Chains A and B, each alone.
Chain A
Amino acid sequence: MKTNSAEPLVHIQNFRMDFGDETIVRDLSFDINRGETFGFLGSNGSGKTTTIRALLGIYQPTGGTLHINGRVFQPEDGGTLGYLPEERGLYKKESVIDVMTYFGRLKGLSKHDASVWSLDYLERVGLEGKSKLRVDKLSSGQQQKVQLGVTIMNCPELLILDEPTKGFDPVNRRLLMDIIEEQKQAGATVLMVTHQMDEVERLCDRVILLKNGHAEAYGTIADVQDQYGGTVVRLKYEGDIPRSALYEVTLQDNNYAELTLADKVDEAVILRALVEAGVLVRSFVTSRLSLDDIFVKVYGDQGELEVRD
């Protein structure tokens, strides 16, 4: 695959996806730069998996451009891709080592290299001695580890992880995060779909929030926080907080309040306004909305959508 480090690794422009009369994604555009970790966020049914499948040529888009490395993805580019799909699965009746070697060979590794890498990986993730077992004899978490190994065994240039921590316990979740971090250090570009906002804040450089098939927010985490009111003031006080266009009182209880500031309003202006209104301010702490808060704010009205993602 030809590489041009100046252009983004992933380029999606005006992507639209219809299934019959139903539009799943509309006019979606974003780029993923080389080496960055990109969070692809959205509620169930917002079109994340559909976008990934279209990007990887599994679905043909109704409209728009979806490029990896400047061209439409082809299966022969699979050697540079690591894809952990939302729908997990392996050949269950085959041995772990046979399955891993098979996928390694499909990704361009020699049989020997694929086998050696697989055995090393299995040892690392605590599955030494399980290589000859049939996949269906492993627990669900162990199968997840094998699948992750299959995903990264070719040292991919682009790593696409669709809900990677789904089904992992906290210990294995940490192991997974370490492995992703390693891949990132090795130069991989990571596209990650997750509902775990703490993971996003820890790992991702930029994010996109998808809602009803279009981008609700896009940029660095700070950009997104800015876009959603950005700053919250946590206040301990005495007196009455006046109504104001400068802020919205989102929580008020027993001399404690949280004020979400209107766009581009400076915290000092708020403090001055409160003092001038006769409020005795005992504590005034500013912080930004967490991604978790933003997620709830954006998708809170949707409930749990159980439609095609």
Chain B
Amino acid sequence: MNAAISIALKDLKLLLRDRAGLFWVIGFPLISAILWGAIFSGSGGGGVASKMKVAVVDLDKSPNSEAFIVDLEKSDSIAVLRHTQEEAATLVRRGKVVASLTLKEGYGADSGFGMVTGEGSNKMELALDPARRAESGMLQGMLMQAQFENLRNKFSDRTKMREMLSSSLGDLQGDTTIDPKQRGLLTNMLGGIDKFFEQADQSILDSGPMGKGTTTPTIPEVAVTREADPNKPKNTFSVTFPSGLMWGVIACVSAFALSLVQERDKGTLLRLQLAPISPAAILAGKGFACFTAMVLETLLIFAIGLLFFDVGVRNLVFLAIGVLSSAICFSGIMMLICGISRSERVVSGASWGAMLLFMMFGGGMIPLIAMPSWMLKLADFSPVKWAIYAMEGGVWRPLSAAELVPTWGLLLGGGIAAYSIGVYLFRKSLWRT
């Protein structure tokens, strides 16, 4: 037993000194888990990616149009991308933005700011990506809100309002199509408003419904705490961490299978055979080293997931059994690969080749939760699937012990069988009689 532990400790020390090996065992699985988790959660590109991208074309180039765009840029929901008219049209056609918004010439001088004038004379134009109609309503609402802000700012500005009223009165006087009686009424009304803006206290302007001090009218929101669905993962990292760490497990399989064959090729196995220990102890040492490396790798990656990525643990005991049974299974596979391989090259090829296939169909590359049904059927033949399933049983899958026992049994039974066959074949190839 002591000899087996000595061999295992020696192998773990050698693994720790092999930087490339260590990257594949710990670095790569971690990168994979984090990367896929970020991609699936939609947070991979940071804040801009989560906003609605809108190309804005300012043909007016007025202070009002600039003020409107600045207001839009302050929005939490819209990412404003300033472009020329041609560029904006191209971006919409290629689906790079949700829509393009054009502020036409005269937008700033228009008393209705492009929205309340008659049909055909609008100073604002919106071109929406036809494939994303669902977002158009949301975008219209956001634009209306920005427009309202713009109008409110203008109403609370005495000078701007009087300039606008003066301009409107001028237009009214020059319009011969209007009935003189009606023109008189309108002139009196606009004159009255002008007088109001001339004489009213600023506090009155600020406190009115359109005053500067008021906020945009909204429907009051009731605080709602979202209830986690117990049948679903806590977050995407809860799915990608069990899958990603399988890369480390297969790296361990490859590293230790290779190390055993290297011991044979380099002659160190001869010295191990000379020592007063049984062949079984030598192979047990190798298997134990592989098992320990897998367990440590799994624990380390889960710890990182737990601390930094909010990967929950639904049942610690189930997780522990899942990790241990998976490590036993893959240690057995490692020994089987050693048993059937005769050289370093064969071991490298066999271990990575077989393991990549297992990964591909077992959920190591595409999460089980995202697999089509036909692939899930193939996945049944991959130990990677059962290992992920067993670990997910401890992380998020709402499975009972009775439901997980067959998976644990499959992993343990498969591991022990593979280990036994591997040991038999390896001993047969080594201890010639």
Does A pair with B?
no
